[in-house]
Structure 1
């Protein structure tokens, strides 16, 4: 599972001219699901996302988490995070999970994040042609992959 996490002052997702989800201060999370991902990957990544200290304290240091600032999350599915660009000029997406695997894991991540924050997680629509608007704050952008975690 791969996530691109952006600190935002606002973000929204629009599908067919209708807003499907929006947040003010918080995080925009672009989530790619791989065939081998599990519930353990979701738990680990969700905990990292809500507890990551990327928000400024009184001294301007990144010492506060999303939970500390009572921020919101906009979660967007993005299979292109698993693009392979090794051959040719057209990316391949064979590592990205098929919808029958990815959708339940994406929905589980949405529920996990909602449970951890105590507020609903705003979201896009899986597989839709989404238009994402955001104001990246900082900018602060973090890339995380569950394959990189220490299993100890």
Structure 2
């Protein structure tokens, strides 16, 4: 599972100022979690990192082997569907519950090298194979607090309090 914790004193102080006006702090964390969940899914759709940078393009072999044209990190839909929020009275988390190397490789990048054989055999097209001494997967971070997320959370909390 990947989950990142927002550790921003300024953000925490401003959310705390808003939260003291709400009797049930779980509601505050539900709003925070929902905003971050929506923003995470939107970044995946836009193929961009939390900092706003565009993800590196897919390798031509990867493009050839894709099951669908739905976009990066959405080929099978498994990773996208796994993005979820967990909230309580004291915290909001957004992450994935998948326990698979691709989760880490996509978030942080990875280098894959053969261990027991001299080459990796990578399927290519319908019946082809490409041999490689190693593959580097560039990071395509999708979990994290993005640019503007803090302001959006504050705006949503203020809107909730005005109702």
Confirm or deny a common fold (TM above 0.5): no
The TM-score bracket by the shorter chain reads under 0.3
Between the two structures, name the one with larger relative contact order (CA 8 Å, sep ≥ 6). 1
Tell me which protein shows more helix as a share of its residues.
2
> Larger Cα Rg: Structure 1 or Structure 2?
2
TM-score by length of 1: 0.24
Tell me which protein shows more strand as a share of its residues.
1
TM-score by length of 2: 0.23
